[in-house]
Structure formats: C-alpha cells, structure tokens
Structure 1
Amino acid sequence: MLNLKGPSDKKSKNIIGIIQSCLILVLVILIIFMMIQISWLQGTARVINYAGLVRGATQREVKLEITENRNEELMKYLDDILSGLRYQDGHYELVKLYDKEYQEKLKIQSDYWEKLKTEIEAVRSVGYENTDIVNMSEIYFKMADETVFAAEKYSEKIATKIRTIEILSAFDMLCLVILVIVQTLMAMKMAVKNKLLEHRAYTDAHTGLPNKSACKELLGNKEIISEPTACIMFDLNNLKTVNDTMGHSAGDQLILNFARLLRNVIPEKDFVGRYGGDEFMAVIYHTSQTEVEEILKCLCLEKDRLNNREDKMLIDYAYGWALSTNDGKYTIQTLLDKADSYMYENKKLCKRYKRISEVEFF
C-alpha cells in the first residue's frame, strides 16, 4: 500500500493536531472550572436559604419576647447560623461567599444582632413598651433582607459565569467537531489520492493491465498453492520486426492489441499482467488442464480471426504453461518459472519451424 503524503499534508496534519490538543486542554479546564462554579453555586444557595431563615426566625423571636415567651433555643439557633455564615463554623456546612458587598452586609447585620440581643434582654427586664425593640426589629429585618439580596446577586454572578462557560465549552466542542470533520475529509482525500497513485504505480500506462510491479507483488506471495492454479507465460514473437520495419508506434499498437486479446479471452476473475516489454503473464485460479487448454484454444482462434483482417501487424506469440499439482510444492513464483521454461522451449520451436518454412519456400 502506497502512502504518499507530501510535506504540506504532514504540516497541515501537525497543525490540526496541535490545535485539537489545545482545544481538548481548554475544554478540560472549562469543565473543571464549571464544576467548581456549580459547587460554589450549590453552597451559595444554602447560604441564601439560611440567611433567609435568620430573617424570619429573628422576627419570630422578637414576637415571642414581646409576648413574654422566652425561647433560648431559638436565640442559640440564630447565634449559630450567623456564626456559620460569618466564620463557616458549626454544623450547618455553610460556605464563605467571596463577595465584598455580601461580606459587608453580613458584618453589619451580625453587629446589629448583638445590639438587638441586648435590647431583648431589656425587654425581659422592663417590658417591651419601655424599649425600642419594635423599631430595631424592623431595622434588623431590612439589614437581613439586604444581606440575602447581596447573596442572591452573588449567586446570579456565578450563574452567569456558568452560562458563559457553557457557551465557551459548546464553542470549543463545535471547533473540535469541525476539526474531526476536516481530519476525516483530509483522510478520505488522502485515501482516494493514495488509491489513485497506487493504481498508477501498479498499472501499465500503455495497456491498462497490471504492470511488472504488480506482477512482482503477486509473485512475492510465498504461500503454497492449495487450489489447482495455472500460470501461463506469453511472449510476442514479432515485436522487434514490427518496430524495425514499421516503427515503434506500430509496435506499441501491436502490444496493445495483444493485451486486449488476452484480457478479452481470459476470464475476468483471473489475473493478466504485462511482465515486461513483450512478455505477459496470466494466472488462472481454481482451474483444470481442460479449462487451460480451452482458454489457449480460444486465444488461438481469436488471434487467427484478428490476423485475417487487412492488418499487416500480425499477432504471433509463444507460450508456456504449468498447472499446480496436489503435492503442495508450488508457489506462484515456482509455477511461473516452470511456465517460463516451457515458453522458451515453445519459442525455440516456433523459430525452428519458421526457418524450416523459409527454406522450403525458397
């Protein structure tokens, strides 16, 4: 199989590979960053939930104190949540929001909670009518509301980041898909190009038959022939005479005519190739002596039919053939060698017969 990649093809492939690696790396980073942001968003949602609980629970605590129903557990509950929001301690698993506005609002709220607790103690001592508990409760509610709002804004920022990362990831994956498509198209183009080049490399330009390289590749198969197979070697007898008397273009036409004769008569399933200048070979698969003899007979009849035309370029050839036996000793090469030997004997006989004919004629 030929693989004829030019320098530009290799350079393009390397550049695409580098871009693809970079895109994959960027995609991995984006996915990791998005997972971190999602984790933060989940933590932020928990903070918003508990910040909202503080807002409502504080109002309930104030109402209970006004009605002289103390609830120390609720007070401790509020202390724990605020401490968890500020310092991430306690058992609520609250995370820290890295937002300046939120942290400022939370600090103000926490500081005011201490004042509100002092006012609650005063309510317990002198009654709520003699304190500013109601007004301070309203102020604290607004502070808690601002803290929740700041946390929600921070959550929206994270959500925006996640959406942006999703868009970038989608764009990155789209680029990767495009690169894969480009690589696939390049590979298909290269495969077609290689197939065309391989066809040219193994095809005789003049006759269209497999050339000597293709014949050599077939002969390079060292496997022992298991099925009855025949090899036939052909040699054009009068090519030199035609070249000398009528020119090389006429000789080329004679070669082409003989190639067409072989390909038209020998079955399509079997191999026919141009082995050399005036030498051709055929491999007949799954055959028998009777079939080979029938093919050679058809070749002779078709040759005579063509030679009966008013054409001075008469086709004349010598041939030799060999059929594999069941003793398991033959490869394509050894079978062809045997056929080649028979062909040269046949060629000598043809030359001897021609000389005798010429002597008798004179």
Structure 2
Amino acid sequence: MRPESGLPFDDIRNLIATMPGPDGAAVEAVRLRDALLTKPPGSLGRLERIVEWLAAWQAKPQPSVDRPLVAIFAGNHGVVARGVSAFPPEVTRQMVDNFAAGGAAINQICLTLDLGLKVFDLALDHPTADITIEPAMDEVTCAGTMAFGMEATAGGHDLLCIGEMGIGNTTIAAAICNALFGGTADDWVGPGTGLDEPGLARKRAVVATALTCHADWLGDPLEVLRRLGGREIAAMAGAIVAARHGRIPVVVDGFVATSAAAILHALDASSVDHCLFGHVSAEPGHTRVLAAMDKEPMLDLGMRLGEGTGAALAAGIVRSAATVHRGMATFDQAGVSEADDQSE
C-alpha cells in the first residue's frame, strides 16, 4: 500500500530521484595522476580506489579531506519496554552527556584522527511508539526527522561519517532489514549490547510480531522506515540524501547506520553509491545486510559499539588515501626512474 498522506514522503522521493551522479572527469584526472606517482601501478591497492571514489563524489580532480565530521544521531525507542536490551533507555541520554563531556570511545578516536564531532539529540524524552502494536512515527514526523538529519551536512564539511546512539536500536535495525530483505527474525537478530538467550528470544519475538503487525505496508521502503524505524535512523537516511546533493562523500558505521542506508538502497540502489561502509560489526545482521546490498566493508575489527566508531576509524584511512595521492611526488619531480616498458 502507498503512504497514507503522500505529501511529506513525496519530497523525499523527489530528492532521491534528482541526486547528482559521479563526476567521471574527476575520476579520470585521479587515474592520470596516479599513473605518474612514484610507485608501481596498483601498489596502494584499495587506497587508490578510495581516492577515485572521493573524486567522483566531491567532483574534484584532486580530492581532499580537510573538514571531516562524525555525526552521531541519538534516539529512543518505545519497544525497549519489551525487554529487548540489556540496558535501560535512560542510558541513551547518559551517553549523549558522555559524548559532550569527551568521555566516550568516539571522542578519543576523533581526537586522535583530528575529526570533527557533532551529536544530534532527537527528542530523547519522547521515544518512538512500540512497533509491535503501532507505527514508530507518523509520516510527518518521519519526513521531518529526515529533514533535520540533513542539517548534518551544513558547515562546509568534505567527508561525513554517520553513527548513532539509541538503546534498543539493533532491534529496530533487525526489523528494518528483515522487512527489506526477507528471511526470519532469527536471521537478523543478534545480541546487541549483550543480551542473554532469554533476551534474544524476546528480541526475536518482538521483530516477528512487528513485521506481522505492519505486513500490509512493508512494500514501500519509506513506510518500512516510519513504521519500524527510529528517529536516529530517519535522520541518518536524511543526512545521506543531503550529502549526495552537497557532493559530500559518506562513511557509514555499523548495523544500525547501515539499516538507514538500506532504506535508501531499497528505493534506488544507486542512491548510496557515494557511501563507503566503514566496517563490518560483530552484530550478525550486519554481515547479512552488507552482502544483500553487495557492499564491501573497509574494516573488520570485531567491533559492535556504534557511536560512529567504525566509520571514524575508516575515515582515517580515507583521509590518508587522499593525502597520499595529493602529496606524493611524480617520477619526474622525484628524479626516480620509471619501470622499463615490457612490451615488445
């Protein structure tokens, strides 16, 4: 079935339909310079592809990462009352305060790698509705939250890393991915913050019940988002859309952040071509959703913290790739002999 009102989501659909494509001329300029640098062709492996990706989406023949931002979106979920998390919902607010005080893991990574950090509080005192009995959000709220997430692209940033904080949101991500890609709740549900087996059983039951409750509307990815999603997931989806229009490449964090990208991917697979997926988390559904979208993660460190930590670590690699490409000398500049022509 189509959305109930149509109008707010029509604006989102139009933004996705009018996304700019990659800049082929910038990619070609990167390849031409790469062929002149003091190294064997292809010797920097995936770093070379990352520079091409940056050029394509920044539309710059010499891409750079000078003003990167890690954006953390924080939201609370009514479904937590069903016992799907090892932590109570007030921890979301407490962790947002911890971010502000500089005491979280993401603060240390951003400090080490010289990344900007901004936290978006998404009505933490007003959790979304319990998805087992009603939609998480109405359409106006969902579209408005996507629009709020678009504000993360303001400020002249040239790389955006998206992450989240929200007790219970791996349940939400599992429900979204189950709705988009099929299978059963067992395929998508994992331990999150450390659930025991009874907790996992409750979490699987919640996801299965939610999908049954909303089954008639799950053919539309935006309906999946508003019915099963959370404010932080809607905001991350909006940030991804706005970044594309602003020519800002995006690095996506773990399972929950990837579920936001999956909504857009289900609407138009090319809508997340400007995204790299920073890591594959230890949450089992993350491996599955990356495979379903045919996306290759940059890192596999067994992490499952969220907070944008995996994306931030990957951003350090992206920044290094850009710096290497811009700063390396060519063979002529360095006075280094090139390889002999092996052709006959």
* Larger CA Rg, structure 1 vs 2: 1
Instruction: Tell me the TM-score normalised to structure 1 length.
Output: 0.21
Bigger fraction of residues in helix: 1
